[in-house]
């Protein structure tokens, strides 16, 4: 996994997520300065990484920390799906974590149109 994703890359120390907002949020402008989201760089200007995935600020550990809040109860209350259906999907996805299986998520234009309408696709987000 670490060889084919950004999971081992280390994120800067000033990146944070609190109260539902990522670091760099400007409430008045209602936008983000994403500078703190960048990777920590070494002396040569390359992104630092930890192939053991033990560093607390590597992408893998930050992701695990971020999604840990989404318990079956929280997912059910946010999405309206039953906890049993959510756990069923989790089990199915977990079964694809094998050398002879894989899962794939595709993003399609139809999802965007369904959630925000076709109009929003052509108007830049502010």
Instruction: Give the start-end residues of each E strand in the chain.
Output: 17-18, 21-22, 25-26, 31-32
Burial environment of residue 23 by CB neighbours within 10 A (0 to 12, 13 to 18, 19 or more): middle
How do residues 54-84 score in pLDDT, each as one tens digit? 999 999 999 999 999 999 999 999 999 999 9
pTM reported for the whole predicted model: 0.71
Which of 108 and 84 is assigned the larger pLDDT? 84
Average pLDDT over residues 96-100: 82
Alpha-carbon span 47 to 44, nearest angstrom:
9
């Amino acid at each position: 996994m670490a060889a084919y994703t950004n999971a081992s890359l280390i994120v800067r120390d000033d990146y944070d997520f609190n109260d539902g907002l990522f670091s760099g949020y400007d409430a008045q402008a209602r936008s983000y300065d994403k500078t703190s989201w960048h990777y920590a760089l070494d002396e040569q200007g390359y992104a630092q990484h930890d192939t053991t995935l033990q560093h607390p600020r590597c992408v893998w550990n930050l992701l695990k920390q971020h999604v840990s809040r989404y318990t079956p109860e929280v997912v059910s209350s946010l999405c309206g799906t039953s906890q049993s259906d959510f756990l069923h999907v989790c089990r199915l996805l977990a079964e694809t974590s094998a050398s002879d299986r894989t899962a794939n998520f595709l993003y399609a234009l139809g999802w965007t149109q369904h959630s925000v309408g076709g109009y929003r696709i052509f108007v830049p987000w502010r």
